[in-house]
Amino acid sequence: MQLGSFQLTDLLMKMYDNSAEAIFFFNSEGQVIAMNESAKLILDSDVLSRMVEGETNAFCMSCQGYTNEQDLITCKSCYLVSPKNDFSSFQVYLNTRGKGIMPYTASFQTIDEENGIRVFMLRDLTKQFKTQVELNEKTMTQSVIKAQEDERKRISRELHDSVAQEMLSTLVDLRVLKYMDINEEVLKKIQQTEGSLMRLLEDIRFLSVELRPATLDDLGLEAAFRTHFKWIEKNYGAVIEFTAELQAKRYEDELETVVYRVCQEAVFNAVKYAGVDVITVRLFEESGQLNLSVSDNGAGFELNSRTASGTGLGLYGMRERAELVDGQLSIQTEVGRGTTVYLKIPLKTTVVKEGE
């Protein structure tokens, strides 16, 4: 399809008038001979008035420099002074009206060689920079949490496979001593030492599980939850009513870790602060999402209160972990009416893996 010269001119004028990009036209003397409304909006009023008056290089009052191969911000070999260099795409910093110094992606090209007319086009990079910063923060957080979990796993395995085994070996040696010809005082001391070692061994096993339960890596969420809840019931006396509707399905390691840690934190908060004997946990899939709910009918709390029980980092940590897998964490609570923590994570077709 070919457009007539009138139609093309009309379209170009509409683009010039309505474009979100700032467009400037310079002559060979460095004067701005035309600019669209978007360009006028980013300039300080003093700079704008000097441009309108035809002051040469008035634009330099706004420009803070551009990025080249050597420097982040420089005025060397300026695009206004050296237009024959390749300035088809580069980054420039402008001191803008009401926003301070802002980054823009720019294009500076000669469109009329005979008359030395050049066009300068700017696109605001603020949104792209913000997106990039958020992505970098998320990637960094993912890396930190992955490193934490890997180190937890390493220490957990070391405690279980090395320290705990050495403890068991020492216990066996002590039990052998009990059957040797020794006096009552020595036997009593051996029995006391055996009891201390048994308690220490139990503590080591607990630390190993808390750092990183082997069942989570080997058998998945359901098995890890059941093991953890048994320990909660044994040591705190709270009853965990657990319902799982996954048919032992497995998921990506990061997703399983997030769900486990969020549930662990929510259950511990309920045990410590809710003042209840029964906590309800449900794990299920629905509408393409993996769902977790942890609820109690206990004390509840002021969700927006500045004075949080405990460290005050639990809720923040749960939300941060949920965001790593594009999950959504919500909390419903009211003083005297209990608390429910909801976690919803969208599932991709590549997320689910075969059970072992």
What pTM was computed for the model?
A: 0.56
User: Which residues are paired to 329 by β-bridges?
Assistant: 343
CA distance 312 to 330: 16
Residue with tokens 């310079």: 26
The structural architecture, per CATH, of the domain 219-356 is 2-Layer Sandwich (3.30)
Q: Is the dihedral of CA 96, 98, 104, 109 positive or negative?
A: negative
pLDDT digits (tens, 9 = 90+) for 2-45: 556 668 888 888 888 888 899 999 998 888 899 999 888 888 88
- Give the angle subtended at the CA of 202 by the CAs of 196 and 203, to the nearest 5°: 90
307-318 confidence digits (pLDDT tens):
445 444 578 888
Residue where the block lists tokens 């511990």: 268
Note the pLDDT tens digit of each residue in 246-255.
887 899 888 9
So what's the pLDDT on residue 350? 42
Average pLDDT, stretch 225-230? 90
Sign of CA dihedral 353, 294, 227, 258: positive
3-state secondary structure 123-182: EECHHHHHHHHHHHHHHHHHHHHHHHHHHHHHHHHHHHHHHHHHHHHHHHHHHHHHCCCC
CATH 3.10.310.50 holds for 5-124: no
Residue 196 has pLDDT above 60, yes or no: yes
